[in-house]
Structure 1
Amino acid sequence: MGTFLQIVGGLALAFVLLIVAGLFYLRWRIKRYANSDAAKWAQIGQAGVAARISLKPLDEPFHHPEIIEGLIAELQDLGYREVGRYSVPEMPTLQFWGGAHPEDGSGATVVDHSMIAPFFELCLVSDTDARHTLTVTTNPTHNPAHTRTGTRVIADGAFTPMAARSELLRTAADEPYLRFDAENFESIFVDLYARQMDFILAKGGPTEADMRREAARMADLPELDDDQMQMALRMSRASHQQALEDAIIDRFLKRYDLPAHEWERLRDRVIVIHDRMNGEEICQHALGHAGAEVDEIEVERILLVSDSRVAAFHALQELLPMAERFRLIGRTDEPVGAALYERV
């Protein structure tokens, strides 16, 4: 279950490319994703990148019931007991079965998605604050670059449930692990997703090379020229930045335990400043509302000498009259260095 985020990331990236292709090829028909699949892609595109997820009991059949039920039966034969069947509202069309093994406490998931071949994962989670994981998976979208520091993922599409369990037990370190059960499965699962997504978001959004690799994988997609690819990158960056802001706010609220009524008062007035912003974004947020002109040379100097984007924003704010400065609410260093301000 340590590789779930790669599903939403990969599909969001693919959908960005489809949108850009549609803008520049108005007569082009997406044969591979036409008709019934078009609605599914639309759902995925609207969802964007999910910084956090929630689980709901599954209230509809699996997309590939024969394959999914077959994998579930094999895992149950190995001793895994069902803890639930779920959908994920933030990741449209994603469904999965969850199980736990009473002997070693390992967790199991069998994953079904309308646009990806079914797969399963087995997972052990260290009983430490870091919650490092050992995951054995057949996930076809696994990207080693997305493996969180301190965790290990063994991915092989040829694994059977029996072979995967043997590999999990053979590879497991001699250390205490959390024990999945019906009571804690959901909370552990959601927490692991948040930790791994924080790792991905902190690294930055997809590069042009990432986008071109995804475009090459989609056989029906016409080749995008440089301008079109830049548009795709901007769209992808916007989705990534929004997810990063969501993750920062989530970590901030957990760290400071802000009362609900106070957050409701602030939420529409909050501006998030973080170290993955570029200089132009920092200047726009810090000075875009300024009533008076500021010294451009001093602005450039601040951007050059500041040791972080958050520090640069603070220094730029000091160029303004007190009445035009934003009020600092607090800081956090997860997933990246960031500060939350209240707009004036």
Structure 2
Amino acid sequence: MSPRRVVLLVALGAIALTLSYPPFPLPILSFFAITPAVLLIRQAMTDANPTGAAFRWGWWYGLASNALVLYWLVVALWHFTPFSALGYLATIAIIGLLTGVIFWFVVRMRLSAPTVPLWVSLPVAWTALEWLIGHLGDVRFPWLGLGTSLADAPVLVQWADIAGARGVTLWLAWCNVAIVEAAVDVRRASYVVRRLAPVMVTVLMALGYGVWRMNTLPIRDVGVVGMVQPDEKFSEKWNPAHGDSAMNALFSLSRSLMARAPRPQLLVWPEAAVPGFFVDHPQWDAAISAFVRENRIPLLTGGLNAELAGPTARVYDIFNAAFFYDSTGDRTRYPIYAKHYLVPVTERVPFVPVRVFRAIPGLRNWSG
């Protein structure tokens, strides 16, 4: 296959896979999102070096598609540190490498076991790739599977309560292969219809189950939750001189929310809403307690927590935490949640074990 055609298929694959995910309301694309990958694998089979071509094209396909799918990594994390660009590049390079391995495996399977059809080997391999990406240490993304691309078509994805997101991925990958094989069939139109019929049957089955499930699933209101999200710039939020203003904004927005109907039964402030430590600002803790007690409403809020590491030295363990205040304003009766999985690049250095990082002089208090 000519290099121009490879570039075209890689580009189309990257665009199609990106547009199949929210926020783009194009669920129909999920059934065509990886058809360029299917075509690349089919073409690799005819190359003079099929496994080598499959790996090369798979790497470029994985690199380009994840470069677009994960664009938000740099956009969202740049204000934390410009090093997020390095984390982004490392992430798409690693996932691209794994995609190349999957392409190589599928072609190798087709060569060594030609009786195993592509509509079996590729969906299984693609689902395995998604599972691997979801468990890949510091660059794991368990929510970016092909199955989750149908999140904006809830009626089609209801059967995930039976097969899970990976089951939906397996189905969609199979649909993509079946559509390609039907489209490239050079025989009569009746053969194309015959090959597409199983796809249509499974889509109708998914729709039927979805309609039944959504109409019969009992749904009831359990309460009203009020969520507060101040519009604070990152540079303002963590400016010590701006801390009291940030807290005032939280209280002001919460009061206006409490004045509306229906009245919330629980208030939720976002992650790290409190812009400092209570050990340094006990007045904030007291103000939150007073506000909650006055309005008789429980509050769940994110914040920073510092706990003494030892009984003598004033050395603190620092956590990204969550605090719960009951309707009496008391939070001492409830455990403080400490975030277990820290975000690579922004909350810790990726790929480096914490104990190794903390052994570096001057970096003892870093999360690693």
Give the TM-score normalised by the residue count of structure 1: 0.24
**Structure with greater proportional helix content:** 2
**Structure with greater proportional strand content:** 1
Larger Rg: 2
Give the TM-score normalised by the residue count of structure 2: 0.23
